[in-house]
Amino acid sequence: MKRPFLATALVVGLLASLPATAQFQKPADAVKYRQSAFSVMGTHFGRIGAMVQNKVPFDAAALAANAEIVATMAKLPFAGFVDGTAEGTKALPVIWTQRAKFDAGAEKMQAAVLELNAAAKTGDMAKIRPAFGAVGTTCKGCHDDYRD
Ligand code: ASC
């Protein structure tokens, strides 16, 4: 190959345009990935919830750290919803027939999570509490429609 730069550029371009499916070696890997991402997100969201609900003392720094993790994790799970991965999971097949609606729900959740992260940085529970509730509403919205 006399044109290594061109070859590299072609490979990089190809990889960038590959669908999410190709990021996982097998369907089970995609399922494990999305479930893991949701699990970590849920764990840290739950830690915020414990403070919001006064089950553990309010620690603004800890809450903000949890919100930062939730904001990062919220970006991840949806790449794992590759075709043909409903079976044996709680994901309802309707996800793949209403994909645009499902994706819109995901984006709503991600936007609400960014709002929560911003509220968390203020350290003001009066701002954090409603932002937390708004995220929970977006979680529930998709769970009602798309999770068994
Ligand atoms: C959580 C969690 C969810 C949401 C959802 C909100 O803490 O793990 O999936 O809140 O229950 O309705």
What are the structural domain ranges in the chain?
25-146
Residue 17 has pLDDT above 60, yes or no: no
Expressed in angstroms and rounded, the spacing between residue 98 Cα and the centre of ligand 1 is 22
How many residues are listed for the chain in this entry?
A: 148
Residue 128 has pLDDT above 70, yes or no: yes
Structure tokens at 87: 């079976």
Q: Are 53 and 108 in contact (CB under 8 A)?
A: no
- The pTM for the full model equals 0.86
Does the CB atom of residue 42 touch ligand 1 within 6 A? Answer: yes
Q: Are 89 and 56 in contact (CB under 8 A)?
A: no
Taking alpha carbons only, the member of 40, 37, 48 closest to residue 135 is 48
Q: In whole angstroms, what is the distance from residue 55 CA to residue 114 CA?
A: 24
Does the CB atom of residue 136 touch ligand 1 within 6 A? Answer: yes
Q: In whole angstroms, what is the distance from residue 96 CA to residue 74 CA?
A: 20
Residue 90 has pLDDT above 60, yes or no: yes
Average pLDDT estimate for 90-95: 98
Q: Which residues pair with 147 in a beta bridge?
A: 91
What superfamily does domain 25-146 belong to in CATH?
A: Cytochrome c/b562 (1.20.120.10)
Q: Are 91 and 146 in contact (CB under 8 A)?
A: yes
Pocket test for ligand 1, best of 43, 139, 140, 145 (most atoms within 8 A of CB): 139
Q: Which amino acid is at 136?
A: G
Phi-psi region of 88 (alpha: psi -120 to 50; beta: other; left: phi over 0): left
Query: Given the CA of residue 136, which atom of ligand 1 is nearest to it?
Result: 6
Average pLDDT estimate for 2-30: 68
Give the residue, by CA position, lying nearest to ligand 1 atom 8.
42
| Structure confidence by residue, pLDDT tens digits, 48-81 | 999 999 999 999 999 999 999 999 999 999 999 9
Q: In whole angstroms, what is the distance from residue 120 CA to residue 58 CA?
A: 11
